[in-house]
Amino acid sequence: MATPFDILNRMREGRTLTAAEVRSVVDGAASGSWTDVQLAAFLMAAAMRGLDRDETREFTLAMLESGDQWALAEDFGPLVDKHSTGGVGDTVSLIALPLLASCGVPAAKLTGRALGHSGGTADKLESIPGVRLELDRAGTLDLLDRFSMAIGIATAGIAPADKRLYGLRDRTSTVSSIPLVVGSILSKKLALGSSGIVFDVKIGNGAFFADARDTRSLASSLVEISAACGTPADYVLSDMNQPLGRWVGHAAEVREALDCLAGDGDPRLLEVVTAICRKAARLVGRKLSPGEIDSAIGSGTARQKLVDWADAQGARPGWVDSLDLAPVEAVVTASGSGFLEAVDCRRIGNAFADACRPDRDPHSIDHAVALRYDVRLGERVERGQELARLYVRGDPEPLQREVGAAFVIGEEAEPPPTVME
């Protein structure tokens, strides 16, 4: 068997790793037989020289097989999964899953918390008073049987090797390596055992990758490696040069999801949701018509599906009417007249993340802090016009200053398309 020294030496020389060598690395991460120094060297070598298709596939499968595999579709039948690469004001999962379920396309998703400037779906759902998000396989199957949808945080056991490697990636500046990103995402997605996965890959200054070429490479790699591991996949490229919805904030985004499912959704947000749902349905042999989607929303079925899921997960009675906003309001106004030319979406996301955690405690989140985004890119604005409204506790000035600096007013601007592919 090749030693860590042998494997690292092969990578230094630019040679391709065998399947056994790739698995040796991942096994070493899971068992502790590889030290942090050795794993850090592997990650940097992988980031610098890349991993080819076969290496990435083996890396993904090895991390998948380091932990539990739920194989939900084997017991439940056809179902889809959905993943977003993250952004600001991205409420798509909270809308797409109940909408798919209402249209007869079962959907399940294990979700995560905020990462950097990007809001986490789990954090948003935890703004619902009393809701429980921890799920095991049996609980997920029960929710699917009852509601045709399940969403939550996996109990321990999913891809433990990835947990160790991700922590080291964060410390070695290798988070943005596409093969490592693909392996990390897919090892957890494939563990669920769905029939197909649709990826919402964000593009723009608020996306994980700001460069369009890198974003498209990530999207195609996710689909290619997922298929190579036995699960069909597709992707949507959606704009993240501005917040996707009208709201940024945990409780506020749950409220927006409920409004969207009731027919009062922002057109950009609904456009992405519709694209995701139609591609997800095709992965299990269904074709969703605009009429089916409109009917699920117009009848109230889709909204009720989200409410019923939350109730089953322990939400307190009347939770729909208790998603309050923070009491102190402040406005961000245009510094001049013209057209909204640019929005620093990442800056808004980072400022909001800080405002939600005033004590810098990652386990203490103020779910009521929110931002309402009032103007879209390319729209005409006048000096002093409200661009955004903030809802905070205490002094609003720090958030007001940061958000205000994120808006650029110019002489002319074209709005970007919401869905690129």
User: What are the residue numbers of the active site?
Assistant: 83, 162, 169, 184, 188
- DSSP per position, 230-277: T--EEEEEEE-SS-SSSEESHHHHHHHHHHHHTT---HHHHHHHHHHH
Q: Which is it for strands 233-239 and 107-110: parallel, antiparallel or unpaired?
A: unpaired
Q: Phi and psi at residue 315, in whole multiples of 5°?
A: -60, 140
Instruction: Please give the Cα distance from 353 to 344 (Å, whole number).
Output: 14
Instruction: Please give the Cα distance from 236 to 33 (Å, whole number).
Output: 39
Residue 279: how many other CB atoms lie within 10 Å: 20
User: Which value, to the nearest 10 degrees, does the dihedral of the CA atoms of residues 368, 123, 398, 343 take?
Assistant: -110
User: What length does the chain have?
Assistant: 421
Instruction: Please give the Cα distance from 402 to 421 (Å, whole number).
Output: 32
- Rounded to the nearest angstrom, the gap between the alpha carbon of residue 1 and the centroid of all alpha carbons in its chain is 38
Instruction: Please give the Cα distance from 133 to 15 (Å, whole number).
Output: 44
Q: What separation, in Å, do the N-terminal and C-terminal C-alpha atoms of the chain show?
A: 45
Instruction: Report H helices in 50-159.
Output: 53-64, 72-76, 92-102, 121-125, 137-147
